[in-house]
Amino acid sequence: MTFKKVLAIETSCDDTSVAVVGANGQVFSVVSADQDLQHQPFGGVVPEIASRNHTLQILPLVDQCLKSCGMGFSDIDGIAVTSRPGLVGSLIVGVVSAKTLAWNYNLPVVGVNHLEGHLLAPFLRDESHQPPHDFDFPFVGLAVSGGHTQLYLVKGVGEYEVLGKTLDDAAGEAFDKFAKLVGLGFPGGVAVDRMASTGDASKFQFPRALKNDGTLNYSFSGLKTSAQNVIQKLPESQLEQMLPDLCASYQEAIVEALMHKLNLAVEQQGVKRAIVTGGVSANSRLRKAVQDWAKQNGIQTVIPPLRYCTDNAAMIGYAGILRLNRGEASGQDLIPSPRSYEGDFQVGVSR
Ligand code: KG4
Ligand code: ZN
């Protein structure tokens, strides 16, 4: 059979999201609930709080999602759900909900790798957004969020090669740790971005780790220590005044590192297409740097709209429907996994 529409569920971290997606990437509806307020007092995602909130939010969101596109389960051909990687307690809520709905409505279910979702997000379309009609495989994909910072060569559906990854913190984590350090709250990426807009990025020198190591890996854990040292030396009265410069300099260090290896990956692979996705791609400095780089180097680059960059069920639905149409349904024995499966990604085959 051909799958025309799937209901998709994403609960891998702290966003609960449900979508209805078509086989050509058409998003009929996507509704999400974040939990930022609940995790804010702890300065980071608390897994137990995340899974409890998913439990409360998931079924109302399924109802809301179907209502908002005027559909019912009779219009749906299958169910896609993020089954890996992620927080296991969070994934369990999505997987159990998906399997229960699938069993109840006699629909096939497919488990999707969250990162595959991010990598296919540039093909999503809706009433107000169409991807460039000539965008296609292969392309270099930079997935950059609070949980991940990875470079891939995306050769086709199901053909993903890991080119490089962070050896320690994700770029979003580096933003969040810095924000916490200077009292900008959680998650702090947006606040740092805003504060940086009036700052001078050349005021402080933060390290660009692994710049000339010849790999496509990243490292961001030294940045926070370096920022901590700079801040300790500043008289307290100056911190507030220097904050925009600190934010701009710190942000520049992250953006420059991201761009350097993205450029290297494109050069090494000899492809002229790239995508940047994940929550950090909301960063205004990074978006500008990517656009300038794409223009200067003639690289066709897609940064999906923010609603498809941050964690969302639409990208899971698209990956899921492609998998279902290839005959890759999962069955009721699907279980969540904190890690990707071994076969999900190839490592370094073309280098
Ligand atoms: O993809 P996402 O919603 O969730 C995952 O982590 O998977 O990404 C959230 C991350 C957080 O670390 C947040 O601080 C960061 O993306 N972020 C930003 C910006 N907006 C969100 N980082 C820098 N600048 C931003 N404007
Ligand atoms: Zn993500």
What pLDDT was estimated at residue 187? 85
Binned average pLDDT, 10 residues per bin, the chain of 351 residues: 97 96 98 92 91 97 98 98 98 98 98 97 96 95 95 97 96 95 90 97 94 94 94 88 97 98 97 96 96 98 94 98 97 96 81 43
Structure tokens belonging to residue 239: 């911190």
Q: What is the dihedral of CA 320, 322, 327, 329, to 10 degrees?
A: 0
What pLDDT was estimated at residue 351? 43
pTM of the predicted model as reported, rounded to 2 decimal places: 0.94
What pLDDT was estimated at residue 336? 98
**Which residues sit with their C-beta closer than 6 Å to ligand 1?**
13, 145-147, 172, 175-176, 187-190, 193, 278-280, 282-283, 310-311
For Cα atoms 147, 150, 151, give the angle at the middle one, nearest 5 degrees.
160
- Strands (DSSP E) found in the chain: 5-10, 16-22, 27-33, 78-84, 109-113, 139-144, 149-156, 159-165, 273-277, 300-302, 346-347
- Residues in the 5 Å CB sphere of ion ligand 2: 145, 311
d(CA 28, CA 25): 9
Q: Which helix (H) or strand (E) covers residue 51, if one does?
A: helix 47-68
One-letter amino acid at 329 equals A
**Which ligand lies nearest the alpha carbon of 250?**
1
What pLDDT was estimated at residue 349? 57
